[in-house]
A and B are shown apart, each in its own frame.
Chain A
Amino acid sequence: MARKLGIALGFLAAGMAGAAAQGWQPTKPVEFVVTSSPGGGTDNFTRMIQSIILKYKLIDQPIVVSNKGGGSGAEGYLVSKTAAGDPNKVIFGTNNAYLLPYVAKLGYKFSDLTPVAALALDEFLLWVKADAPYKTAKDYIEAVKAKPETYKMGGSQSKDTDQTLTSILSTVTGAKFIYVPFQGGGAVGTQLAGGHINSHTNNPNESIGQWKAGQVRPLCVFSPARLPAGPKVTETQGWADIPTCKEAGIPVERFQMPRTVWLPAGTPAGAVQFYEGVLKKVSETPEWKEYIARTVQTGQFLSGDSLKAFVANDDKLSREVFEREGWIVK
Chain B
Amino acid sequence: MDGFSGLLHGFGVALTWYHVMLMVIGVLLGILVGVLPGLGAPNGVSLLLPLTFTMDPVSAIILLTSMYWGALFGGSTTSILFNIPGEPSSVATTFDGYPMAQNGRATEALSFAFLSAGFGAIVGVLLITALSGWVTQFALKFSSPEFFGVYFLAFASFVGLSGAPPLKAAVSIALGFSLAGVGMDSVSGSLRLTFGFDVLLAGISFLVAVIGLFGIGELILTIEDGLKLDGIRAKITPRDVLRTAAQMPKHWATLLRSSIVGCWMGITPGGPTAASFMSYGLAKRFSAYRANFGKGEPDGVIAPETADHSAGTSAMLPMMALGLPGSATAAVMLGGLMIWGLNPGPMLFVERPDFVWGLIASMYLGNVVAVVLVLATVPLFASILRIPFAIIGPLIVVVCFIGAYTIAGRPFDLWLALAFGVLGYVFKKLDYPIAPLILAMVIGDKAEDAFRQSMIMSKGSLTIFWSNPLVTGLMLLGLVLLFWPLLGTLRQRLRPSRV
Chain B contacts of A65 at CB under 8 A? 46, 50
Q: Which stretch (B159-167, B335-343, B477-485) binds chain A?
A: B335-343
Question: Does B344 sit within 8 A of A, measured CB to CB?
Answer: yes
The reply to whether the CB of A294 lies closer than 8 angstroms to some CB of chain B is: yes
Q: Name the A residues within 8 Å of B453 (CB-CB).
A: 180-182
Q: Are B457 and A47 in contact (CB under 8 A)?
A: no
Asked if residues B201 and A74 are in contact (CB atoms below 8 Å), the reply is yes
Q: Does any Cβ of A come within 8 Å of B358's Cβ?
A: no
Q: Which residues of A contact B256 (CB under 8 A)?
A: none
| Interface hit among A119-127, A188-196, A219-227, A271-279 | A188-196
Most chain A beta carbons < 10 A, residue from B29, B203, B323: B323
- The answer to whether B469 has its CB under 8 Å from any CB of chain A is no
Q: Give Cα A105–Cα B191 distance, bound, in whole angstroms.
A: 8
Number of A-B residue pairs with CB-CB distance less than 8 Å in the complex they form: 161
**Looking at B50, B144, B344, which has the most chain A CB atoms within 10 Å of its CB?**
B50
Neighbouring B residues of A37 by C-beta, 8 Å: 331
CB distance from A69 to the nearest CB of B (A): 8
Is the CB of A289 closer than 8 A to any CB of chain B?
Answer: no
CB distance from A90 to the nearest CB of B (A): 16
Q: Give the bracket for the number of chain B residues in contact with chain A.
A: 35 or more
Q: Which of A39, A44, A208 has the most CB of B within 10 A?
A: A39
* A212–B191 touching, CB < 8 Å: no
Interface flags, B182-199, vs A, CB<8A=1, else 0: 011111111100001010
B48 and A209 contacting across the interface, CB-CB below 8 Å: no
The contact of A209 among B46, B47, B335, B346, by CB within 8 Å, is B346
Contacts of A3 in B (CB 8 A): 47
Interface mask (B8-42 → A, CB under 8 Å = 1, otherwise 0): 00000000000000000000010000000000001
**Separation in Å of the A35 CB from the closest CB of chain B?**
11
- Is B291 at the interface (CB under 8 A from chain A)? no
Given known contacts A68-B202, A105-B196, A159-B189, A2 and B50 CB-to-CB distance under 8 angstroms = yes
In the bound assembly, the distance between CA atoms of A50 and B53 in angstroms comes to: 10
B335 touches which one: A43, A163, A193 (CB < 8 A)?
A43
Across the interface, name the chain A residue whose C-beta is closest to B142: A194
B49 in contact (CB, < 8 A): yes
Give the chain B neighbours of A152 by CB distance below 8 A. Answer: 457
Contact A75 B323 (CB under 8 A): no
Contacts of B388 in A (CB 8 A): none
1/0 contact string of A101-144 vs chain B (CB within 8 Å): 00111110000000000000000000000000000000000000
Chain A contacts for B29, CB-based, 8 A: 1
A186 interface contact, C-beta 8 A? yes
Interface residue B456 (Cβ < 8 Å from any Cβ of A): yes
**A234 — nearest CB in chain B belongs to which residue?**
B347
Within 8 A of B (CB), among A24-60: 37-40, 43-44, 47-48, 50-51, 54
User: Residue A267 at the B interface, CB < 8 A?
Assistant: no
Cβ–Cβ < 8 Å partners of B144 in chain A: 180, 196
List residues of chain B with CB within 8 A of the CB of A66: 409
Contact with B along A1-38 (1 / 0, CB 8 A): 11101100000000000000000000000000000011
Do A107 and B198 touch (CB < 8 A)? yes
User: Cβ of A189 and Cβ of B323 under 8 Å apart?
Assistant: yes
Any B CB within 8 A of the CB of A327: yes
Residue B332 lies at the interface, judged by CB distance under 8 Å to chain A: yes
Q: Chain A, 308-326, contact with B by CB distance < 8 Å: what is the 0/1 string?
A: 0000000000000000000
A107 touches B189 (CB 8 A): no
B189–A47 contact, CB under 8 A? no
Most chain A CB within 10 A, of B187, B201, B325, B456, is at B201
Q: Which residues of chain B are within 8 angstroms of A6 by Cβ–Cβ distance?
A: 50
Q: Mark B319-361, 1 if CB is under 8 A from A, else 0.
A: 0001111001001111100110101111110000000000000
| CB-contact partner of B186 in A158, A178, A208, under 8 A | A158
Q: Is the CB of A78 within 8 A of B201?
A: yes
Provide 19 A-B residue pairs closer than 8 Å at the C-beta atoms, listed in order of the A residue. A1-B47, A50-B50, A65-B50, A66-B409, A69-B202, A70-B408, A71-B183, A72-B186, A74-B201, A103-B190, A105-B196, A152-B457, A181-B453, A183-B186, A189-B322, A209-B343, A210-B346, A213-B346, A329-B190
Chain A: residues with CB nearer than 8 A to chain B?
Answer: 1-3, 5-6, 37-40, 43-44, 47-48, 50-51, 54, 65-72, 74-75, 78, 103-107, 149, 152, 157-160, 163, 178-183, 186-187, 189-191, 193-194, 196, 205-206, 208-210, 212-213, 215, 294-295, 327, 329
> Which 9 residue pairs across A and B have the least CB separation, nearest first?
A209-B345, A70-B202, A158-B189, A159-B189, A107-B198, A196-B143, A71-B201, A39-B335, A213-B346
